[in-house]
Structures are given as structure tokens and as C-alpha cells.
Amino acid sequence: MPPLAHIVAIAENGVIGRAQSLPFRLPSDLKRFKALTWGKPIFMGRQTFLSIGRPLPGRISVVVSTDPAFTPPEGVRLGRTLEEALSVAEGAMAEMEAGEVMVIGGRRVFAETLPFTRTVHLTEVHMAPEGDVTLPPYDPAVWREVAREGPQQGPGDEAPFTYVTLERRPE
């Protein structure tokens, strides 16, 4: 099992998505996302990949999809089960000489990889937008906060946000 890290922006009401896209506009957070994922495999479900629409440069995209009709475009690696996709991601991590695989969504992929995740790069968005995809909060009995930066709001960001890093507590 490769080392996994979640990277997710979540609103105060738990919303992470709306109509196959992000429910908030935060250019500053997208820059952080790029910096944290650059040179690493990014692991996602089919719907998340389709919402992005293309492989992201500087990363290897690994998609998990049980949909037999889904054929990934060139440059995207596929696993038909969670276990197969994690194995593909582990190979990509070794190929890139990266220290971890970045899990970028969606809700089901976050839930299924949570037991194996060691770090969470969380952006707490200080607004409560409407949305159709939510995540429960990360349980403080399982996760400990190791860093917090903010609140802040850069040019073009539609809401203030705080960066939080969580690590799994020792069992």
C-alpha cells in the first residue's frame, strides 16, 4: 500500500462539490494544490477526472472506475478496483520517485482510502455554499492538527480560507 495523503477543500457545511465542479472560486488554493501535487501521482475517481477533463501536467493521473464503458485518455492510468488502482498508483509513485500518492476525490474515493491515509492537506473554506457532494469532518480522535495557516484571502478568492495539515494519530 503506498503512503496516501488527502488533499481537499471543504466548506463550513461540509460541501466539497457542486454539479461536477468546485463550489467556490479560490485561485490561491489551486496554486497550493498544484504545489503539493506536483511530481506525485494523483488518485481520483472517474467523476473527478471527468470534471477536470484532462491529465494534469507534472503528475501521473490514476483513475479508479468500475464503469466498463470508461476508457481513459492517453496519459491516464486506470484501475478497475480500489486495490488495482492503488497498485497502479504505487507503481507511478516509484516511477516518479515520489514520497506519497495524493488522493484528490471524490467523496467515495476519499471515504474508501481514509483508513489507509496518513496525512490530510485540508483547506477550510469559510463559507457555506450549496452543493451536492459533502464530506463528514475528519475525526479529531483519529487525526491531530500539525499545522494551521490563516485565515487568508488572496486576489480573486471568493472567500477566506485556512490551510490545515492533519496527521493520523498513532494507534
Segment holding 163, helix H or strand E: strand 161-168
In Å, what is the CA distance from 35 to each residue of 54, 84, 86, 135?
A: 18, 27, 22, 23
Per-residue pLDDT band at 151 (split at 50, 70, 90): very high
* Best CA proximity match to 9, nearest among 19, 1, 27: 27
- pLDDT confidence of 89, banded at 50, 70, 90? very high
- The β-bridge partners of 60 are 41
Q: What is the pLDDT of residue 171?
A: 77
Rounded to an integer, the average pLDDT of 65-76 is: 93
Flag the least confident range among 17-21, 34-38, 65-69, 153-157: 17-21
Output the pLDDT for position 17.
94
Average pLDDT value over all residues in the chain? 95
**What is the spatial distance between Cα 160 and Cα 76, in angstroms, rounded to a whole number?**
33
Q: Can you give the pLDDT at residue 32?
A: 97
The CATH topology of domain 4-168 is Dihydrofolate Reductase, subunit A (3.40.430)
Q: Label residues 23-39 b or e (16+ Cβ within 10 Å = b).
A: bbebebbeebbeebbee
Q: What one-letter code names the amino acid at 127?
A: M
Domain residue spans in the chain?
4-168
Using the 8-state DSSP alphabet, how is residue 159 labeled? Answer: S
* Sheet containing strand 60-64, strands side by side: 76-79, 60-64, 41-45, 101-105, 4-11, 117-125, 161-168, 143-152
Q: Which residues contact 137 (CB under 8 A, 6 or more apart)?
A: 14
What are the tens digits of pLDDT across the range 5-46?
999 999 999 999 999 899 999 999 999 999 999 999 999 999
Triad 164, 88, 75: Cα angle to 5°: 90
CB-based contact 3:100 (threshold 8 Å): yes
**In Å, how far are 40, 106, 127, 136, 153 from 95, measured between CA atoms?**
10, 25, 39, 33, 36
> pLDDT grade, residue 1 (50/70/90)?
confident
Banded model confidence at residue 128, pLDDT cuts 50, 70, 90: very high
In terms of DSSP H, where are the helices of 10-160?
A: 27-37, 46-52, 82-96, 107-113
Say if residue 2's pLDDT is above 80. yes
